[in-house]
Structure 1
C-alpha cells in the first residue's frame, strides 16, 4: 500500500501544539476495496446535475446547473418545478436566475421539518442586482409536488465573479462553493468560494470563501464565533472553494472537502470561528507581486517546481501567516484533482465502511485530460473520530465520471450526480 500522509510527522506535531484538533499519529494509507457494489442509473439525459436532497419516502429533489429545480417522485415520475433563464417545461420560471461558467443553480437542502412547512432551500446565481450575486432561496413545495411558491431570498449577498478581464483565471462565474446542508444542530450550512478575488477569503465582510451557519431566515446562528468585526453569519473563513460538507454521524462535527489550486485538495474539520488559512493576496507568506493581483495559481507549472514545492510556495493552509489555522486532516498527496463533495456512509450493509466519509472528484487536469475521477472512502480513526486512518479508492461498477454530488439516500444507498448527465445509485451487494 502506498502511504498517503497529509503532512510530515514533525509538521503534524507543530500543528497539534497550536490546535485542539487531534490528528492520528498513524499515517493515512491506501487500503484495499472490500465492498462490492450494485449499480443502477436513476436518471439520465440531464444537463449538469449539481445536487440532490431526499424525503424519507425516497422523493428526490435535484438541481441542474443551467436548467433548474426538479423532483423525482417514488413512482419514478419527474416534475420540473422551477426553471431558470432559457429553460423550458418548468411549472414556473425565475428569470433572474442564470448560469455562466461554474455558476448557476447549485446546492439544495430539504428542511428537516418539511412535513410541516414544505420548505426547501436552493443556492443559485441571480442578476437582480449588479454586480450579480449568489443567493440562497427558500421555497415552499406544493402539496401535490407540482410547483413551488413563496420564494424568499434569505441570503442575497454572496459575491459572484462577473468580469473575466479583471481576473482572467477561470472566466466569469468561477468559484462559488455552493453546497447547502442542514446540520444536526438545526442550522443551515452554506459553503462559498473566493471568485478568484484575492481579498475575499480573509475579508471580514465579504461572504465569499466562507462557510456560513444560519437559521431558516438567513440570520447568523447565535453562537457563531467569528473574529470581532466579522459578519455574524460566518462560521469559518479563509476558504478557497468548498463544495463538500458532511457531518460526523455520531458527533455531528462538520467536515468539509475543498478544491486545491495546482495542489492540495483538502479535507478539514471545522472549528467555530476558525480560519482555513487560504490567502491568495500578493506579498503574503513571503511572496512577491502576482499577475492580476491573485496569487492563487503561483508559481505556474512552467517554472519547474514539483507539486510539493508549489504547495510550499502557495499553501492552501498558510500556517506561516496564520499559525492557528485549522489544519487539514488529509490532503491529496500534493495533487489537485477537483475534490468536490462529501457524505457519510451509514448502515450495516456497508460493513467496515459503515460510518466512513466518502468524497468524490471532478478530476479534470490541464488541457481537459481526465485525471483522478473517482470516489475515495476516508475511514476515520475510531478513537477521536476526526483523524484519517485509511483511504480506499472505491471500485466502481460503472464508468468513471466527474462526481459532482454524493448523497446518502433514505434507503441507505449512495446516490452520485455526475457532470456527464446522470444520477447513479450505488449500494453494497
Structure 2
C-alpha cells in the first residue's frame, strides 16, 4: 500500500551548529517529512534506480520496486534466504553501470549445512511493464564459516570509486571470530563485482585475501565519503561502544579485545578501551543507540549539511546528524527525527538531495525528508 499523506509531525525544526561563522540559532532548517510508501515488512535496504524510482528489500525475502509513487508486486526470482532472527534479505545496491548492465547486488543470510552466514549475490533486473524479475542470479561472496546463531550478519554493500565492492559482516554473535584472520566474520570484505579478489587488497600474512579490515562487531551502516573516496562504517557495540570507523586496508579495529562498552552481564570486555595494534574509532556512543543505516550528505537540498553524517538509531528511533569536518573529526550530534516514525533501519540520499529513510517495522515505511518551502 502507498501513501502520500503528510505525517502528523510533518514540519521538523532542526538547529545546526555554525557552518559559516553564524550562531547556531541562525541555522534553523524546516523539514517536510512525508510517508511515500508503507505496508513493507521489515524493509532493510534501498537504492535508487537510474531514470527514477528505487529498489527496496524486505527482510522476509522480498524485493520491491518503487516507481512513480507506487510499490510493485514482489520481484520474481529472488533466491531463498534464511529469514530467522536478524537474518534474511538485507542490503541492496544498484551497479554503477546499471544503465548498461541492469545489475543489482544484494546481501542475505544464506543457509548451509552448519547454519547460516552472510552472502552476496548479483542478478540482472528485467522489467516487463509492471512486472519485474531477476535473471542470472549468481552468488559472488559466501561467508566461509556458517554457524547456528541468528544474529550479527552485518550487512551493507558499498561500491568504491574504482568499482570494487565493500561488504560488511558481523561476528555472528561469536566475538572471537572477529580476531580470526581466516574467518569472514567481523570484517569488511573487498571484492570485485564478479566476486574475484582485487589485486591491491592488503593480503597480509595469515589473512584471507578478500579481507579489507577486521575486528568489527556488527557493521550495519556503511557509506562512501565523497570528499575522500573512502569508506565510513557504523557498528553495534554491546552495552555502549557503538562505533563509527573509517576502515583502512589491513587494520584491526579491536573487537572483542578492546571496546568502549561493557558486556551485557556488566563485565568488562577484553583489556579495556585501547591496546597496541588496535585502531581507535572516530566516534562512539555510550549508552548504545543501536545504529543502523548511514549516509554522508552530498546533495543540493541541504547545503548546510554537505559532507556531514546521517545515522539511524534502532533503539531510540531517531536520525542523527553529526558534523564531519575537513580533517575527518566528528563534532556535534543533532537529532533530525526523534521517535516520530519508529526504528530507523536505512538512510539514503536521493538524486534530488532529499533524505529517504526505511523504518524497521512489520508495517514498515519509506519516509522522505525534504526542505520545507
- TM-score norm. by structure 1 comes to 0.75
1:252 positional shift: 1.0
Deviation track 1:236-257 (CA, whole Å, cap 9, x = no partner) reads 1000000111111111121111
Q: In the alignment, is residue 399 of structure 1 matched against residue 312 of structure 2?
A: no
Q: Distance in 1 between matches of 2:127 and 2:360?
A: 31
1:110 paired residue number: 94
Match runs of 1:273-288 below 5 Å = 273-279=250-256
1:379 paired residue number: 323
Q: Distance in 2 between matches of 1:403 and 1:317?
A: 30
Residue 307 of structure 2 is aligned with which of 341, 346, 355?
Answer: 355
Residue 45 of structure 2 is aligned with which of 51, 63, 68?
Answer: 51
Q: Distance in 2 between matches of 1:69 and 1:243?
A: 19
Q: 1:201 is paired with a residue of what secondary structure?
A: helix
Q: Distance in 2 between matches of 1:34 and 1:160?
A: 49
Residue 269 of structure 2 is aligned with which of 297, 304, 314?
Answer: 314
Q: In the alignment, is residue 424 of structure 1 matched against residue 367 of structure 2?
A: yes
Residues 105 and 131 (structure 1 numbering): CA distance in 2 closer, same or farther, change over 3 Å? Answer: same
1:26 paired residue number: none
Residues 336 and 387 (structure 1 numbering): CA distance in 2 closer, same or farther, change over 3 Å? Answer: same
Residues 395 and 404 (structure 1 numbering): CA distance in 2 closer, same or farther, change over 3 Å? Answer: closer
Residue 221 of structure 2 is aligned with which of 231, 240, 244?
Answer: 244
Q: Distance in 2 between matches of 1:315 and 1:41?
A: 43
Q: Which runs of 5+ in 2 are unaligned?
A: 1-23
Residues 112 and 38 (structure 1 numbering): CA distance in 2 closer, same or farther, change over 3 Å? Answer: same
Deviation track 1:111-134 (CA, whole Å, cap 9, x = no partner) reads 000111111111112225433332
Q: CA contact under 8 A between 2:63 and 2:78: conserved in structure 1?
A: no
Q: Distance in 1 between matches of 2:98 and 2:171?
A: 32
1:327 paired residue number: 280
Give the stretch that moved more between structures: 151-160 or 244-253.
Answer: 151-160
The structure with the greater share of residues assigned to strand is: 2
Q: 1:251 is paired with a residue of what secondary structure?
A: coil
Q: 1:92 is paired with a residue of what secondary structure?
A: coil
Deviation track 1:129-148 (CA, whole Å, cap 9, x = no partner) reads 43333210111111436111
Residues 376 and 299 (structure 1 numbering): CA distance in 2 closer, same or farther, change over 3 Å? Answer: closer
1:34 positional shift: 2.9
Q: 1:427 is paired with a residue of what secondary structure?
A: strand
Residues 253 and 317 (structure 1 numbering): CA distance in 2 closer, same or farther, change over 3 Å? Answer: farther
Q: 1:221 is paired with a residue of what secondary structure?
A: coil
Match runs of 1:6-21 below 5 Å = none
Q: CA contact under 8 A between 2:218 and 2:235: conserved in structure 1?
A: yes
1:157 positional shift: 2.3
Residues 327 and 317 (structure 1 numbering): CA distance in 2 closer, same or farther, change over 3 Å? Answer: farther
Q: CA contact under 8 A between 2:308 and 2:323: conserved in structure 1?
A: yes
Residues 373 and 80 (structure 1 numbering): CA distance in 2 closer, same or farther, change over 3 Å? Answer: same
Residues 207 and 57 (structure 1 numbering): CA distance in 2 closer, same or farther, change over 3 Å? Answer: same
Q: Distance in 2 between matches of 1:100 and 1:412?
A: 35
Give the stretch that moved more between structures: 141-150 or 113-122.
Answer: 141-150
Q: Distance in 2 between matches of 1:154 and 1:427?
A: 36
2:21 paired residue number: none
Residue 390 of structure 1 is aligned with which of 332, 340, 357?
Answer: 332
Q: CA contact under 8 A between 1:254 and 1:269: conserved in structure 2?
A: yes
Q: CA contact under 8 A between 2:112 and 2:146: conserved in structure 1?
A: no
Deviation track 1:84-114 (CA, whole Å, cap 9, x = no partner) reads xxxxxxx3353x4230000000011110001
1:316 positional shift: 9.9
- Aligned residues, how many? 343
- TM-score norm. by structure 2 comes to 0.86
Q: CA contact under 8 A between 1:341 and 1:404: conserved in structure 2?
A: yes
1:268 positional shift: 0.9
1:257 paired residue number: 234
Q: Report the aligned-residue RMSD.
A: 2.3
Q: 2:301 is paired with a residue of what secondary structure?
A: helix
Q: Distance in 2 between matches of 1:378 and 1:63?
A: 27
Q: In the alignment, is residue 151 of structure 1 matched against residue 137 of structure 2?
A: yes
Q: In the alignment, is residue 92 of structure 1 matched against residue 77 of structure 2?
A: yes
2:85 paired residue number: 101
Q: In the alignment, is residue 131 of structure 1 matched against residue 108 of structure 2?
A: no
